[in-house]
Amino acid sequence: MNTPLLADTATPSFSPLYQQIKTLILQSLQAGEWKPGEPIPSEMDLAARFRVSQGTVRKAIDELAAENLVVRRQGKGTFVATHAEQHVQYRFLKLVPDSGDTATEGPAERTIVDCRRLRASADVARALALRSGDAVLQVRRVLAYRGVPTILEDLWLPGLPFKGLTAERLRASRGPMYAMFETEFGVRMVRAEEKIRAVLPDTEQAALLAVDAATPLLSVERLAHTYHDTPMELRRGLYRTDTHHYRNELG
Amino acid sequence: MNTPLLADTATPSFSPLYQQIKTLILQSLQAGEWKPGEPIPSEMDLAARFRVSQGTVRKAIDELAAENLVVRRQGKGTFVATHAEQHVQYRFLKLVPDSGDTATEGPAERTIVDCRRLRASADVARALALRSGDAVLQVRRVLAYRGVPTILEDLWLPGLPFKGLTAERLRASRGPMYAMFETEFGVRMVRAEEKIRAVLPDTEQAALLAVDAATPLLSVERLAHTYHDTPMELRRGLYRTDTHHYRNELG
DNA sequence: CAGTGGTCTAGACCACTGG
DNA sequence: CAGTGGTCTAGACCACTGC
């Protein structure tokens, strides 16, 4: 029963069974066989489908759950993870108020400053694995807490997957931007990496954040990926850190 | 066989067997029954000792490995994790050169600027769970790469566990500071959390980092814990981010 | 109640390490 | 070769959810 299930594909031929199962489930997720928020088949069903024991499916799903691609709920089932209906509003945003009291602060007030189509610069093209000159969407927005502008974000999206995205639709959408990307464009952000620096704002940035040009700000450059490590969004945030800080856990 | 093993302790009485096993192993780690770098007993041995199946021990160790408390090596055994002999030199340091080429950069040149005993300020006492006025050690050092001072660190340690630590011993030790804490003081740092801000240096800090007072720097305030979430070190780093950046992965 | 994920077991075999 | 962790199975039972 240990003959590779994927012998006919380009898979490196020999890996544990549960890894192969994991890959198969991942392909179904990626292909949209089950939509975000929906349940995937039960462990027994999957075991039957792949002709392996429940324990093997279990280990595959364990890893997917550890990578936040899937959420287990005892007694109910296993569900495709989603950026919506997730108790943590912004899963990738690590900026928290100094008080630590993220509850009383309330949701961020969002303002779309700009949204335009343009051709990718060399930098943006490289980050998003496009060719220089390909169409990209550029968005600039401000997030404010209790009326205080705190975050200025510039973000770049590849033009093709996000065809039809406009400032109107951004303004119209409720909830996290990544949730809208899922429902409207079928793009699910799965993983991201950030490069953080301390910088000074230019005059326009300073004005949008209501600080003077000598105020040091956190520059957070994020590259977000969808399945298969495909880069899908480049985002550069400027964070005010006089009332908030970037919180990180080291294991 | 599902009667709680820890019925006579203050444990909340009902948790899965493997959680109880995990707790027991953790207690042995904490008590120093096996030292950092040494192997713990084999899964079979532990299964026999605790009168459970190998699979149950396995799940317990899996979690300890996921928390980096222990390292599995196939064919050899399971070893107590250590900050020394770990291919990653500084496990908690997330600052990397912009080139990404951490290899060619070489090890940091370390300079102990200051090391003194004093009484804990209110802030330090709160962070380290001491009483205000208790003895603490304060250390200031600079890390340079290729001769360029890049990191200025102030750190505070509780006086009792680190009795006998002096500038001499700091200067004499090779390798990561956390490795020396293990071998010399039996204190193993297990977990940490960081609060990151953008700040401007005061004149002394600017001088030590060879930058002018208008250069924005990354302020990284780290609280490091040993077993049982006991805070053991407060560290405040000032990072130059003109040639390096703080790198973070978001899952 | 049936169906789900969660725990536990016992035993078989594989893959890797070192003497 | 014996000993270690790693995989896989089959089956039992538990804990939680919802009808």
Could you report the average pLDDT of every consecutive run of 10 residues in chain A (251 residues)?
39 76 96 94 97 97 96 97 81 92 85 96 97 96 96 98 95 92 94 98 98 97 95 98 97 86
How high is the pLDDT of residue B85?
A: 74
Q: Is residue A12 part of a domain?
A: no
Q: Which two tokens stand for residue A32?
A: 């949209």
Asked if A67 and A164 sit in the same domain, the reply is no
Last residue of a domain, one of A40, A58, A80: A80
Q: Which residues of A touch B199 (CB under 8 A)?
A: 198, 216, 241
Last residue of a domain, one of A80, A98, A128: A80
A17 CB-to-strand D distance under 7 Å: yes
Asked if A210 and A239 sit in the same domain, the reply is yes
Residue B134 near chain A (CB below 8 Å):
no
Counting the structural domains of chain B, the total is 2
Q: Which two tokens stand for residue B172?
A: 């004499």
| DSSP 3-state of B171 | helix
| DSSP 3-state of B134 | coil
Asked if B220 and B240 sit in the same domain, the reply is yes
Q: Which of B67, B102, B94 is nearest to B248 (CA)?
A: B94
Full DSSP string of A50-82 = HTS-HHHHHHHHHHHHHTTSEEEETTTEEEE--
Provide mean pLDDT across the span B107-120: 95
3-state helix, strand, coil in chain B (%, to 5): 30, 35, 40
How high is the pLDDT of residue A106?
A: 81
Residue A200 near chain B (CB below 8 Å):
yes
Q: Is residue B113 part of a domain?
A: yes
Q: Is residue A6 part of a domain?
A: no
Q: Which residues of B touch A198 (CB under 8 A)?
A: 198-199, 216-219, 239, 241
Residue A247 near chain B (CB below 8 Å):
yes
Residue B177's CATH number:
3.40.1410.10
Please tell me which of the candidates A92, A195, A216 has its beta carbon nearest to residue B247. A195
Q: Does residue B61 register a pLDDT over 90?
A: yes
Provide mean pLDDT across the span B126-149: 96
B7 CB-to-strand D distance under 7 Å: no
Asked if B224 and B112 sit in the same domain, the reply is yes
How high is the pLDDT of residue A104?
A: 80
B56 CB-to-strand D distance under 7 Å: no
Q: Does residue B86 register a pLDDT over 60?
A: yes
Asked if B115 and B73 sit in the same domain, the reply is no
Q: Which nucleotides on strand C sit less than 7 A from a protein beta carbon?
A: 3-11, 14-18
Lowest mean pLDDT of B20-24, B76-80, B105-109, B215-219, name the range: B105-109
* pLDDT tens, residue by residue, B166-214: 999 999 998 899 999 999 999 999 999 999 999 999 999 999 999 999 9
Asked if A95 and A189 sit in the same domain, the reply is yes
Distance measured from the CA of protein residue A32 to the C1' of nucleotide D6, in angstroms: 32
Q: Does residue B55 register a pLDDT over 90?
A: yes
At B36, is the pLDDT very low, low, confident or very high (cuts 50, 70, 90)? very high
Nucleotide of closest approach to B44 (CA, C1'):
D4
Asked if B65 and B104 sit in the same domain, the reply is no
A72 CB-to-strand C distance under 7 Å: yes
Q: What percent of chain B has pLDDT over 70?
A: 94
Cβ atoms A154, A140 nearer than 8 A: yes
Asked if B49 and B167 sit in the same domain, the reply is no
Shortest CA gap B118–chain A (Å): 27
Asked if B57 and B130 sit in the same domain, the reply is no
Cβ atoms B196, A194 nearer than 8 A: no
At B11, is the pLDDT very low, low, confident or very high (cuts 50, 70, 90)? very low
Cα B88 to Cα B71: distance, rounded to the nearest angstrom: 14
Q: Which nucleotides on strand D sit less than 7 A from a protein beta carbon?
A: 3-11, 14-18
A191-199 and A217-226 as β-strands: parallel, antiparallel, unpaired?
Answer: antiparallel
Q: Is residue A24 part of a domain?
A: yes
B42 CB-to-strand C distance under 7 Å: no
Asked if B110 and B214 sit in the same domain, the reply is yes
Last residue of a domain, one of A80, A105, A124: A80
Asked if A72 and A185 sit in the same domain, the reply is no
Task: Kindly identify which residue of chain B lies nearest to residue A242, measuring between CA atoms.
Answer: B197
Asked if A117 and A207 sit in the same domain, the reply is yes
How high is the pLDDT of residue B106?
A: 81
Q: Is residue B107 part of a domain?
A: yes
Cβ atoms A157, A165 nearer than 8 A: yes
Q: Which two tokens stand for residue A30?
A: 């990626």
Lowest mean pLDDT of A105-109, B129-133, B216-220, B229-233, name the range: A105-109
Cβ atoms B40, B25 nearer than 8 A: yes
Nucleotide of closest approach to A16 (CA, C1'):
D7
The domain in which residue B114 lies consists of 86-246
Query: Nearest 5 degrees, angle CA B111-CA B113-CA B115?
Result: 115
Please tell me which of the candidates B92, B192, B248 has its beta carbon nearest to residue A196. B248
Q: Is residue B123 part of a domain?
A: yes
Residue A35's CATH number:
1.10.10.10
**pTM exceeds 0.75:** yes
Cβ atoms B6, B25 nearer than 8 A: no
Distance measured from the CA of protein residue B58 to the C1' of nucleotide D14, in angstroms: 20
- Mean pLDDT, chain B, integer: 92
Q: Is residue B67 part of a domain?
A: yes
Q: Is residue A193 part of a domain?
A: yes
Task: Kindly identify which residue of chain B lies nearest to residue A100, measuring between CA atoms.
Answer: B195
Residues 6+ apart with CB under 8 A from A228: A30
Shortest CA gap A159–chain B (Å): 24
